[in-house]
A = this chain, B = another copy of it.
Amino acid sequence: MMSSSKTPQKNIEITPLTGIPNIHPGDDLAALIHSAAEINEVDLNHGALVVCQKIISKTEGRIVELAKVTPGSEAIAIAEEHGKDPRQVEVVLGETVRIVRRGHGVLICETRHGLVCANAGVDLSNAPGEDMAVLLPLDSDASATRLRSGLEALGHNNVAIVVSDTFGRPWRNGLVDVAIGSAGIAPIDDARGGVDLEGRELQVTTMATVDQLAAAAGLLMTKSSGIPAVFITGIPITGDGDLTQVIRNPSEDLFR
């Protein structure tokens, strides 16, 4: 699309939305974000709103009480081998279509969405109680679309939504936020067919825009900051698409 070459470059601004309360199942996230935008005096139009997965999952009730989980034999065996809570492993296996790797106390799982990440994205930290697990949304694209519609109904126009989660990577230490769903923006900015500065055709410069937005937002959305959403302006909000564009076709993947 080459959108970036056609528009004059301007600054990108990343604004934290503070004051979003602890989230409970059924909460109206659009209304809470609308209020936070008002409190923070943020003009929530024409930009990308990055929202951490956890508050989406909580509003959708994607919370499991570990006390109610009965681990099966596979979960018990894996938990014993890796020194984990078998109930947690049971929850992880329930979210997993395939274990891609396991070792060093880590389960790298492929989720039903096609995401590959540690523990199928199941998270204990920041859960409402010690014995809770927060699961990924069933369909983060749908969650993003609902939030976008809710914000539109409250008068916020042209707001792209990116749902972010914090993933590890092979070969590199440290975590980086990535997108697990989006709405109202092309997930991949496809520059194929454009030309580089020397006039040669760019072959495969397809930037993962939603992942760059998630990572940028992650600079403010640290676990300890209590900031679950940020608004990013200064980037072109164009196109649309879904997570399937971000997930590499397994037949083309060298690391499955």
Contacts and interface: CB of A to CB of B under 8 A. Distances in A.
A247 B171 contact: yes
Interface string A35-62: 0000000000000000000000000000
Given A173-B247, A246-B173, A246-B174, A224 B13 contact: no
A162 to B, nearest CB: 12
Contact of A104 (B177, B205, B234, B252): B252
Integer count of this chain's copies in the complex: 2
Contact of A203 (B125, B130, B206, B222): B125
Contacts of A177: 212
A238 interface: no
B255 A211 contact: no
Interface string A102-133: 11101010000001100000000111111000
Interface residues of A, number: 80
Nearest to A14: B12
A5 B188 CA distance: 32
